[in-house]
Amino acid sequence: MTVKASATIVLGAQYGDEGKGKLVDLIAEKAHFVCRVQGGNNAGHTIWVAGKKVVTHLIPSAILRPDCRVGLGAGMVIDPLAWQEEFEMLRSLGVNMNSSRLFVDPRAQIILPYHRLMDRKRESDSATRGASIGTTGRGIGPAYASRAFREGPRVCDLVAEGGLDAFFRKSPHLEEGFDSSVRASFDAIAKMLRPHVRDVASEANDVLDAGQKLLIEGAQGAMLDVAFGSYPYVTSSSLVAGSCPGNLGIPPWRIGNILGVVKAYSTRVGNGPFVGELHGELEEKIRKVGGEFGSTTGRPRRVGWLDLVALRYFVRINGITALSLMKSDVLSGLSEVGLITGYRNRDTGKRFEGWPTSLSETEKVEPELEFCKGWTSVVGVDGTFTDSFRAFVQRVEKFAGIPVAYVSTGPDRNEGHWLTEIF
Ligand code: IMP
């Protein structure tokens, strides 16, 4: 059998917030079907359209492109209240939210008020021991835990006759916080959701069988992956490229390009180790110019230099085929720009061979920095990249071992350059 891959993944290659929303929005123009496959409304995908900012948390950001269909895959966790709020927000912007283009897989897990309460309670309990993760508080981890316990309801249960009562009878603790007003909301949401419930896996396979283009919209970032990220300071789902087809329900051999999205610097929101984190004036400046505040929680993002050691590792384990470099314009005007090109053990001074996996090992990492000449602007008056910015891009490509296919030069759809068309 010959293999004809026509699915592309857009994957965050750092700690999330890399600018995947913009990339997906660009590529989705040519896609037939765009799906999210994991996480829930912990994500925040920001798209600027004609100077107007739109943020989606749960529904794939590709919904803003009128000609593609969008799906929420089986691997997701869905808070019905967040679904309703986002649905109404998008509809009020004039977005086509018809059930002929927006589908939800019946196997996706439901986030209940109990899961949100549990998320916040666990966080505040562990904060007293200085061990909180800094979650978004959206109930994401507890909802996945309910799936692992095989006790939580799924979308198919929410929209079924009788609603969730059968689940509450079997697992009474899940009913906490499910008061009469939430019950009434869930009933109304079940009704509006019903026409959208569709086997997203079959739909995705139909699209591929027809030779059409499928795009998987990754959420969060590979360094927050539950297995490969900085455990336990990670999200609760699998984010690596290898898990995307499984969370959607398509064969892995259908995946062709895997586009890794990185900023020209790093940010992290929430707790956990952050190699090369900046402090003081420079951190403040980059945060301010880059608008680095969480799009889901509003928390200030921590800021650091671009970590090429981590990037090379995550390029490898995800099989990233090309990079998309975002927000280089934020660094314009700096006299020099740092890159992390090595890890050393702070106690022994020895170089790390391989990748630090335990928390204690990661906490001992001291970065080796290389500084490139800064750029006054990404693009010069002649419309091409300035020499110093081009040298930065080449350094990133050489270290990561893959090409940069797209460079974003500003927040709007039209601000960016494709160096290689990948879709
Ligand atoms: P949770 O996903 O809400 O459980 O949060 C776990 C960790 O992942 C926290 O550090 C969050 O700040 C982080 N996180 C979750 N979703 C995102 C995202 O979309 N962008 C950036 N960080 C995220």
- The sheet carrying 302-307 orders its strands as 265-268, 302-307, 336-345, 365-373
**pTM for this predicted structure:** 0.95
Residue type, 326: M
> Between helices 308-318 and 387-400, what is the axis angle to 10°?
50
Which pLDDT does position 1 carry in this prediction? 55
**115 belongs to the catalytic site:** no
- Catalytic residue chosen out of the listed positions 25, 45, 79, 225: 45
Report DSSP state, residue 201: H
Report which of 350, 356, 354 is spatially closest to residue 368, judged by C-alpha positions: 350
For residue 408, list its beta bridge partners. 416
Is 365 strand, coil or helix? strand
Q: How far apart are CA 270 and CA 262, in angstroms?
A: 18
| Structure token pair of residue 68 | 């593609």
Structure-token match 């359209």, residue found: 49
> Rounded distance, CA 355 to CA 383, Å?
40
The radius of gyration of the chain's CA atoms, rounded to the nearest angstrom, is 21
What are the Cα distances from residue 183, in Å, to 81, 136, 179, 357? 11, 24, 6, 44
For atom 2 of ligand 1, which residue has the closest CA?
235
How far is residue 344's CA from residue 255's CA, in Å, rounded to a whole number? 36
Cβ neighbours, 10 Å, residue 188:
12
Q: Establish whether 45 is a catalytic residue.
A: yes
C-alpha–C-alpha distance, residues 412 and 52, integer Å: 9
C-alpha 20 to ligand 1 mean position (Å): 15
Q: Which atom of ligand 1 is nearest to the CA of 141?
A: 4
Partners of 277 in beta bridges: 304
pLDDT score at 353: 85
Q: Cis omega before residue 232 (within 30°)?
A: yes
Chunked mean pLDDT (size 10), the chain, 423 residues:
80 95 92 98 88 92 95 98 97 96 98 98 93 95 98 96 91 96 97 98 97 96 96 96 98 96 96 95 97 90 98 97 97 98 95 91 96 96 95 98 96 90 82
Please give the single-letter amino acid code of residue 76. M
Distance from the CA of 229 to the center of ligand 1, in angstroms? Answer: 12
Mapped onto helix, strand or coil, the DSSP state of residue 377 is: coil
Instruction: Quote the pLDDT of residue 354.
Output: 85
- Between the CA of 420 and the centroid of ligand 1 the distance, in Å, is 31
Contact call for residues 49 and 413 (beta carbons, < 8 A): yes
